[in-house]
Structure 1
Amino acid sequence: MSSPVERIRRNLDASISAKQQLLGDDATLAAFARAVEMVVARYRAGGRLYIAGNGGSAADAQHLAAEFVSKLARDRGPLPAESLTTDTSILTAIGNDYGFDQVFARQLAGKATGKDVFLGITTSGESPNILRALEQCRRMDIPSIVFTGRSGGAARALADHCLVVPGTATSTIQELHIVLAHTLCESVEAALFTTA
């Protein structure tokens, strides 16, 4: 049986290794830069960011929306962003009436416009409600980003910008998603607000 010290060392090693792999992955870093440019362009056009995920990724969606609306690295005006995971009445109504796989797609259909952008977070790339949301984005001509892991799953073919991070454990993948999310927000802040 592993001791707590052995466990934390193993988890830190896995986290560091995954981050080093991502640091050396020029293709994924370039894809991230393109995703940032697209989000900046959508904000400049008057759009907003919609974000969704399940479980821990739902919490990450809420976390990131808060960083955009409030601030991350600098004092600045609010940026419109919304997590599609927070309204229990909407989630349960859509889930009850249309099925849980429609909880994000139907919100996008009702709220989003062609100026907006969607970010889906799914460690497997196979979450049915994220896949339906990406399909809805295609129907509405809304650009999409997905943060995922492992092979990228079916989300890889549906998202305009698919960022697949390394790591075998869900927890390690989620840690890297937070690095991407914070860096996305920080990069958008730097592009849109020139003074601190």
Structure 2
Amino acid sequence: MSFENALQRHFDTFNQLQLVREDTEQLADQIEASLKQGGKLIFMGNGGSAADSQHLAAEFVVRYKAERHPLAAISLTVDTSILTAHSNDYSFDSVFTRQIQALAKPEDLIIGISTSGNSGNIIDAIEAAKDIGCKTWAWTGSKGGRLNDIADYLIRIPSDETARIQEAHIFVGHWLCEEMDRRTTQA
């Protein structure tokens, strides 16, 4: 694919992001409410989505653009000892579920990132989080996969192309960071 074609596909996806605006704004409201209740954001994903999880958790904790107090967020993809011990002793399929069971509280907000919406370890962890009473969000591609029927809320990027979905997930995440900067520095 030429650079021009890749750029056009990017623009085609981004030109449709108005389709997820209301859901993204609703997520911002829920993030604010969760943080005010003493909750935290818990991100998870595999591969590139794992990197996105870590990236966004860092933006919330450290800062995005504005100087503000840290916002409680973690990524379940960062502890190599937990990831490898659990995968060795149990299964990679439940690597996030175990962490949710250990760390999540009802006031927490869970964000599972899966471009296909079919990542088994994300699905299982979302179900575990719901059992605890957490609000759950899935960020997926256009079809939503199995997470369509499992997560409480979805942000479905209007694309079936992994790279474009991931680019849009980061855009959504950055907008949420900027919005939380705005909301937490206005007081």
Range of TM-score over shorter length: over 0.9
After superposition, the CA RMSD in angstroms is 1.1
Are 2:32 and 1:9 aligned?
A: no
4+ residue runs over 4 A deviation:
none
The answer for the alignment partner of 2:184 in structure 1 is 192
Contact 2:143 2:160 in 1 (8 A): no
User: Residue 43 of structure 1 aligns with which residue?
Assistant: 35
| SS at structure 1 position matched to 2:145 | coil
CA contact (8 A) 1:14 1:167 kept: no
**Candidates 103, 106, 116, aligned match of 1:114:** 106
Q: 2:126 aligns with which of 134, 157, 168?
A: 134
Instruction: After TM superposition, give the deviation of residue 98 of structure 1 in Å.
Output: 2.0
- CA deviation profile, 1:74-122 (whole Å, cap 9, x unmatched): 0111111111001111011111222111111110100111121111110
TM-score between the two structures when normalised by the length of structure 2 = 0.96
Q: CA deviation at 1:64?
A: 0.2
SS at match of 2:155: strand
How far apart are 1:126 and its partner, in Å? 0.2
TM-score, with structure 1 as normaliser: 0.92
1:60 aligns with 2:52: yes
Unaligned runs of 5+ in 2: none
- Across the two proteins, how many residue pairs are aligned to each other? 187
Larger-Rg structure = 1
Q: 1:143 aligns with which of 135, 146, 158?
A: 135
**Correspondence 1:125 to 2:117:** yes
Unpaired runs of 5+ residues, structure 1, are none
